[in-house]
Structure 1
């Protein structure tokens, strides 16, 4: 029998081992700034599934990604069609429907400089409206991502369709959880699904007491890796649906008590707020569950009565809050979280006016329901120097009152209004812009006297 040359065997073996090593070697860490899904400059807030590192996907409502970037343009790479919201430089969220492939987010080129981007996929009752798979970002040639400031606190909201934001104008983005997180300048996520119960019911109702522990709402889905983030506060709003699925009061109280213990086990330092459902279903059992864990030594779990939180015009049906209702809930909830966590809406940076500062303000009524309206405000720095921390002041028309705001901390004294930056949008680059929004109790638009850090601004209605 003919023998193969020893040299050939050695070479072939070496080639095979080399190929095996290449196949089994872990993927190289993405370079910071390349815009890929594993780029460390991209912050993923909420429960994102990285089973495929090249295609992370969120499974719960309220997940979003944030990054900074340089250059004048940015595009989003999507696997298949999806509906999404995006915001650049703190501006109003732009809604895109049924987009896929390379999605241009800057149809008009930005001014050269540093910018911020936030992307959130649209949910319907907790299920994403399309293929929520992020494939990365495309930037200008030579441009890079840059790390955006990370909020100091993270708030997690656990619930059903109310927490998802069902029937509100932008679903998760106009739900009380998102609004509360924005008001606090905190990271936030909504662990919620439309129609969900606290208890996994025999008729198929999704039980959030179990799904809280997992990375998505499917039964038996993988357990969530709680080392990925730690919540500073957890807000629970569950029990509205259980009554329709045959869950007894005894079972509800027992499962709620265990959920509180599970949350404490995963988040040892978090303040846990158990909300009385707005329908008051299982209110006594929710309070009793809180009493059970506090009696066992948990001094950072609280029952929160919600009587009077929803105004008469705050519902879109018999159960679901509309935009007015969600804003009202956020207004009540924000100071409670502030008290329990020490979270503050006061910016850490001291506002300073740039030399030779100049500014322009666009003040737009974007939604109107007769007794109130939503306003979006864009501040443009028209000077040659960056703004590092900002305060915008103006005069409100008539007796208009601000009820709730986002992307800024607002206050009011009589007709005088003030908005102060939150941590992540404190800087406005030269020729750059930022934006915030608020809801007021009237639809009047005759605001006047805008000033940025004490310097008068040109206003456009």
Structure 2
């Protein structure tokens, strides 16, 4: 029979091979509070208030492991949210407040996993997306889950948000690709967003990529919080309607590519031709400008033929099936470069 200490060392080495280790000390002390180190917050979260963490942009989510037979979510005011336990299908809860029971039917005693993602707070929806902690069984605790080595960031507008799909950000192509490639993922996107910030109020990701959120008073984002391994940009659908034309679009796109490179020196960056084909030539030229400047890890991705008219809900926003088609096309392109 193998010596217990050797078995423990072997188990630790196996965890190290995955790129993530949850120590026994951390697992034993996890209390489910927002500052619990066993809870992973993926995406951009406002953590300035230790009692209440707030997700920003679309596609932010949290994950953790927990022991016991039940888990509850402490909310402030009303919010819609998605949650998945033990890798199961995401469940949708609407208009919930206070202590939200995520396990109305008790689980088998033992270890479980949890993922929570709030509905995107933007446009006509104004819920209170605020994580105030978890409530666990007496004597139960959280434990850290293995952390995927790669992180993918998707920058865009309502298409990247997943507007008009069945589960919003969770059924958008960025989320689908991240799950398919086994990576952490986040969507720095908002409905109606542009590349260029305009006087009539369009949120320009050229500027707001650098910020915690799309709020006008948002502070700068602390890029030491995470590093993206791949960045996908899908911008240009809305700019023309806000007065940005071909002569100005390209230099602004070059500037965004420069910003992304400055923050993520080793990331693979993918600039998508918009699905409506607007500003495609200028997007491609911006990529060529960066390539000529010596950045070989920026790629233009044409989208011709990816979708047909039946893949849209309204002529602009893809259906669930449309997003799956985009993921089918784009995931192999990203995977090949990573």
Q: TM-score, normalised by structure 2?
A: 0.90
Task: Kindly indicate whether the alpha-carbon contact (under 8 Å) linking 2:39 and 2:63 is maintained by their aligned counterparts in 1.
Answer: yes
Which residue in 1 is equivalent to 2:314?
A: 317
Secondary structure, aligned partner of 2:248: helix
How far off its partner does 1:130 sit? Answer: 0.7
Deviations 1:123-177 (A, max 9, x none): 2656864100000000000000010111111000000000000001110000000
Please identify, of 218-227 and 162-171, the stretch whose mean Cα deviation from structure 2 is larger. 218-227
C-alpha change, 1:127 and 1:300, in structure 2 (3 Å) is farther
Of the three residues 250, 253, 275, the one matched with 1:253 is: 250
Please identify which structure carries the higher helix content.
2
Q: Does the CA-based 8 Å contact 1:42-1:67 persist in structure 2?
A: yes
Paired residues, number: 313
Unaligned stretches of 5+ residues in structure 1:
1-28, 342-461
Quick one: distance in 2 between partners of 1:198 and 1:125? Answer: 18
User: How far has the Cα of 1:178 moved from its partner?
Assistant: 0.4
Which secondary structure does the structure 2 equivalent of 1:60 belong to?
strand
Q: What secondary structure, in the 3-state scheme, does the structure 2 residue paired with 1:178 have?
A: helix
User: 1:319-352: per-residue Cα shift (whole Å, max 9, x none)?
Assistant: 00010100000000100010111xxxxxxxxxxx
Q: 1:64 to 1:127 in 2, by over 3 A?
A: farther
2:47 maps to what in 1? 50
* Structure 1 match to 2:264: 267
Structure number with greater CO (CA < 8 Å, separation at least 6) is: 2
Task: Classify the secondary structure of the residue corresponding to 1:80.
Answer: coil
Aligned match of 2:333: 336
Query: What does 1:152-171 correspond to in 2, within 5 Å?
Result: 152-171=149-168
Change (3 A) 1:133 1:124: closer
Where does structure 1 differ by over 6 angstroms across 4 or more consecutive aligned residues? none
Cα-Cα RMSD: 1.5
**Partner of residue 352, structure 1:** none
Partner of 1:194: 191
Higher Rg: 1
1:219 positional shift: 2.2
Identify the residue that residue 14 of structure 2 maps to in structure 1: none
Q: Once the two structures are superposed, what CA deviation does each residue of 1:243-278 show, in whole Å capped at 9, x if it has no partner?
A: 111102121111100000000000011000000000
Aligned partners of 1:310, 1:106: CA distance in 2, in Å? 39
Distance 2:28 2:274 in 1: 46
1:15-34 alignment runs, 5 A limit: 32-34=29-31
Q: 1:233 aligns with which of 222, 230, 233?
A: 230
Q: CA deviation at 1:30?
A: 12
The equivalences for 1:111-150 within 5 A come to: 111-123=108-120, 129-150=126-147
Match 1:291 to one of 288, 297, 317: 288
Q: Corresponding residue for 1:281? A: 278
Q: Identify the residue that residue 184 of structure 1 maps to in structure 2.
A: 181
| Structure 2 residue matching 1:63: 3-state secondary structure | strand
Once the 2 structures are TM-superposed, how far is the Cα of residue 32 of structure 1 from its aligned partner?
3.8
Q: Secondary structure at the match of 2:94?
A: strand
Q: State the match for 2:7 in structure 1.
A: none
For 2:123 and 2:63, locate their aligned partners in 1 and report how far apart those are by CA, in whole Å: 21
| Structure number having the greater strand percentage | 1
Residue 66 in structure 1 maps to residue 63 in structure 2: yes
Within 1, Cα distance between the matches of 2:325 and 2:201?
A: 32
